[in-house]
Structure 1
Amino acid sequence: MYLAVAVGGTWAFWLPAIALGVRFDSAVGLLLLLVGLAVPGVSGIAFASLVYDERGRSDFWNRVRNPRRVGVRWLLVILLVPLGVGVLAGALDLLLGGPGPTWGEAVTEFGVNPLAVLPTLFFATLPPILEELGWRGYALDRLQLKRSAASASLVLGVVWALWHLPLFFIEGSFQHDSVGVATTGFWLFMAGIVALSFTFTWVYNNTERSILGIIVLHGWVNFTAEVIVVPDPAYYGLWFVLAGAIVAIWGAKTMTADDDVPHPPLPLTR
């Protein structure tokens, strides 16, 4: 039910933008974009409040606020993995005869126009917060109650990818202006989100289900991808390699060294 509400609620604001020909870089379009972005997180908070008891609700907000759940080792993982994927993908593309990595507009135009960094900072902050309060903050826990970590990652990854679909039809969005519909980049983007879902679950399950850690990871993935630009096949290909390595090394059941998937606190029985 949550997944239907999150996707349907977002599309309720984004589909009218398509029908009316509204651009996301207009005032009305920006409002529709932001409200649609907020739906997964707001819905996640609402569902957590309705489904969980006081212990579960307290656990939810502790996962948002408590950095100790992440720890130094996994903070390094969060910071180094996206950066490593970008650098290695650029080097791999260069070795295969491609153009290799280039700096994004936030870097190349910063000296002339410091405001050029604002879109990068936006994608690295607000969307991760608004999305992850729901995707990992609520939905992943519920999926892992009856599914393995790998299966839950696949289901959530597919839904997460489909959630982005209207953006490809709205002018002013990155997906419309830079990727396009039914292009090679389109299919790589959609499949790449599914691959990213596995890495997000791996980090989530190994950081005591930290929502804060996932927000940082999501934001850092967005930021590094905007700053270090590499061809899509090498970039998304490495995320698939990483997803496969995670499942092979840590196992499909939990993606951790533990035998059981971490779960939210169960309601107290009387």
Structure 2
Amino acid sequence: MYLSVAVGATWVFWLAAIALGVRFDSALGLVLLLVGLAAPGVSGVVFVYLVYDERGQADFWNRVTEPRRVGLRWLVVILLVPLGIGVLAGIADLLLGGSGPSWGEGVTQFALNPLALLPALFFATLPPILEELGWRGYALDRLQLKWSALSASLILGVVWALWHLPLFFIGGTYQHDAVGFATTGFWLFMIGIVALSVAITWVYNNTQRSVLGIVVLHGWVNFTAELIVVPDPLYYALWWVLVVVIVALWGAKTMTAASEVPHPPLPSEP
């Protein structure tokens, strides 16, 4: 039910933009974009209060605000993995005869105008905050009550990928202006989100279900992708390589060293 509400609420505003012919780089378009982005998080908070008792609600906000859940080791993982995948994709491109990695537009313009990085920072940090209160703050826990960590990740990843679909039809978005619908880049983007969903669950389950850690990871993935430009096929392929390594080393059931998937305090538990 949550997934239907989150996707449906977002699509109401984004489909309205399509119907009105509004670009997301206009004033009205930005409002519709932000309201749609906020739908997963707002819905997640509402469902937390509908489903959990006071312990579950307190657990939710602790996961959002408590940095000690992450720990230094996993903070290093969060920072190094997205950066490493970008660098490795660039190196692989060079070895295959390509031009290798290049700096993103915001970086190249930074010397002339330090404010050039602001759009990249904005879209790297705001969407994760608005989204992850719901995707990982609520939905992932509920899915992992029934499914293995890998299955829950794949289910959520497919829904998360489809959630982005209207963006391919709205001007002023990366998906519309740089990728396009039904192109090779479109399919790489969609399956790449599913791979990222698995990697996020791996970090989430190993950081005491830290939503704060996932917000940082999601934002850092966005930002490093803006900083270092590499060929999409290699970039997304390496995320799937990471998925294979995670499942091989940690197992599909929990993707941790534990035998059981972590879950929030349920009302029926003492």
Bin for the TM-score computed over the shorter chain: over 0.9
- Name the SS of the counterpart of 1:134 in structure 2: helix
Q: Residues 138-184 of structure 1: CA distance to partner in whole angstroms, max 9, x if unpaired?
A: 00000000000000000000000000000000000010001111111
Aligned to 1:17: 17
Confirm whether residue 154 of structure 1 aligns to residue 180 of structure 2: no
**Superposed CA RMSD:** 0.9
TM-aligned CA deviation for residue 114 of structure 1: 2.1
Alignment-derived partner of residue 169 in structure 2:
169
Once residues 98 and 51 of structure 1 are traced to their aligned partners in structure 2, the CA distance between those partners, rounded to angstroms, is 52
d(CA) in 2 for partners of 1:268, 1:44: 21
CA–CA distance in structure 1, aligned partners of residues 241 and 269 of structure 2: 44
State the Cα distance separating 1:235 from its structure 2 match.
0.3
Q: 1:187 and 2:200 equivalent?
A: no
Q: Distance in 2 between matches of 1:238 and 1:244?
A: 10
1:115 to partner: Cα distance: 2.1
Q: Are 1:254 and 2:247 matched, yes or no?
A: no
1:240 match: 240
1:177-207 C-alpha deviation (Å, 9 max, x unpaired) = 0111111110000000000001000000000
Percent identity over the alignment?
79
SS in 1 for 2:221: helix
* In structure 2, C-alpha distance between the alignment counterparts of 1:21 and 1:71, rounded to whole Å: 46
Residues 1:34 and 2:40 aligned together: no
Q: Secondary structure at the match of 1:261?
A: coil
Q: TM-score, normalised by structure 2?
A: 0.99
What code does the residue aligned with 2:232 have? D
Give the equivalent residue in structure 2 for 1:48.
48
Contiguous gaps of at least 5 residues in structure 2: none
- Equivalent residues in 2 for 1:39-78, closer than 5 Å: 39-78=39-78
Residue number in structure 2 paired with 1:82: 82
- Distance in 1 separating the partners of 2:268 and 2:15: 42
Instruction: Return the alpha-carbon distance in structure 1 between the equivalents of residues 8 and 263 of structure 2.
Output: 26
Displacement after TM superposition at 1:116 (Å): 1.5
Matches within 5 A, 1:221-236: 221-236=221-236
- Distance of 1:114 and 1:36 partners within structure 2: 29
Greater CA drift, 137-146 or 94-103: 94-103
Q: What pairs up with 1:129-140 in 2 under 5 angstroms?
A: 129-140=129-140
Displacement after TM superposition at 1:219 (Å)? 0.4
- TM-score, structure 1 normalization: 0.99
Comparing 93-102 with 65-74, greater Cα deviation is found at 93-102
**2:108 is the alignment partner of 1:108:** yes
Q: Distance in 2 between matches of 1:132 and 1:153?
A: 14
Instruction: Output one character per residue of 1:43-77: Cα deviation in whole Å (capped at 9) or x when no partner.
Output: 00000011000000000000011011000000000
Structure 1 position 266, deviation (Å): 1.9
Which one-letter code corresponds to 1:256 in the other structure?
T
For residues 16-43 of structure 1, what are the alpha-carbon distances to aligned partners after superposition, in whole Å with 9 as ceiling and x for unaligned? Answer: 1111110000000000000000000000
Distance 1:269 1:236 in 2: 41
> How far apart are 1:228 and its partner, in Å?
0.4
Separation of aligned partners in 2, 1:269 and 1:244:
35
CA distance in structure 1 between the partners assigned to 2:115 and 2:176 by the alignment? 22
Alpha-carbon distance between aligned partners in 1 of 2:48 and 2:136, rounded to the nearest angstrom = 12
- Equivalent AA in structure 1 for residue 136 of structure 2: R
